[in-house]
Chain A
Amino acid sequence: MSDSGHETYFVIPAYNEGQAIADVIRGIPDSYGVICIDDGSRDDTAEQIATTRAILVKHPINMGQGAALQTGFEYALQIPSMRYVVTFDADGQHRIEDVETMLETMASSGVDVVMGSRFLGHAINMPRSKRAVLKLAILFSNLSTGVKLTDTHNGLRVLNRHALESMRLTMPDFAHASEIVDRIGRERLNYTEVPVTIVYSEYSKAKGQSLINAVNIAFDVILSKVVGL
């Protein structure tokens, strides 16, 4: 298999991130492997990834961020040396220092999943409306899954092999964040949270989830709970 022999791999889903993706990958220390999933972008994302050391996995069609993460998980699982996967956003809003803290927590606590929390840590320049919607999502998630978190929709997470094997994400777009929490509860994975800092730059704000999309996400999540699909 394509084994570059790392213990920890960053999994980065990218959709139309040609502008930022190469710099984000270059900011990751060489001691970590990088798996970058181009989710059928219409711009030069794939070409930009190809200029870096990252392993490029290219979706032939756009399938959504959740599907891209699942592809990254499955790719990582075929690498024998892989012990941990870090899910990382392509727009540069996460910090490497936080990843290092999370990996230390992972190693010392022996949990299956370490979740980053911007509400335990700092959210710099976060729009107020976004904060309100997120708080609502967290409340709903805590009530419905039994997994108690202070931040459910954070893109920064560390998962071990056991957690990766339990994921099997099927939700489209950003509903996968709820799905990951749901799997943690259902598969009884051990988890903990680490405070992280998220910097909302103009670029990441423009690229981020629009608030109206929360309606779509809520619909998908509630329906899946009702219909059980």
Chain B
Amino acid sequence: MIWAQLVLLAVVGLMAVYFLKTRGKARTKAYKKLALIAFLIVSVVTITFPDLLTRIANLLGIGRGADLLLYGLALTVLFMMLNTYLKDRESRQTINTLARRLAILEANQRRQPD
């Protein structure tokens, strides 16, 4: 066990405690928690046995484990970008609906006081 592994494992451990402890405002969905647990397990295994990642990479026809990690990371970033974009649109839609309601109520009130 080298120092880098110890540090990485500590970070993963802290993340696990933090995410599983916070219930989330709108109660984080169950499948998200399951995905997180899966991610944590994979992290711990690949940090502890780095050669495993290289072997999987070779199976997939990719040279090194680090390359596999890079591809995975790139996909994750793209997925997160799309997710953020869609969430952004959704929240803007909510704000618009709210503002529209307000504008119409105010307009009605202006024309018919009290």
Contact = CB atoms under 8 A, between A and B. Distances in A.
Interface centre among A37, A55, A57 (most CB of B within 10 A): A57
Interface residues on B, range: 10 to 19
Contacts of B84: none
A75 interface: yes
B111 A63 contact: no
B100 interface: yes
A71 B86 CA distance: 23
Interface in B69-114: 86, 89, 92-93, 95-96, 99-100, 102-104, 106-108, 110-112
Given A170-B93, A229-B86, A74 B99 contact: no
Contacts of B106: 57-58
Contacts of A55: 107, 111
Given A56-B110, A58-B106, 16 more contacts: A2-B108, A2-B111, A2-B112, A37-B103, A57-B107, A59-B99, A59-B103, A60-B99, A60-B102, A60-B103, A61-B99, A63-B96, A71-B100, A75-B107, A78-B108, A227-B86
8 contacts: A1-B108, A55-B111, A60-B102, A61-B95, A63-B100, A71-B100, A170-B96, A229-B89
Nearest to B100: A71
Contacts of A170: 93, 96
Contacts of A195: none
A1 B105 CA distance: 10
Interface string A181-211: 0000000000000000000000000000000
A156 interface: no
B112 A58 contact: no
A99 B108 CA distance: 27
Nearest to B108: A2
B111 A67 contact: no
Contact of B96 (A37, A58, A67, A227): A67
Nearest to A50: B110
B71 to A, nearest CB: 23
B107 A70 contact: no
A70 to B, nearest CB: 7
A74 B104 contact: yes
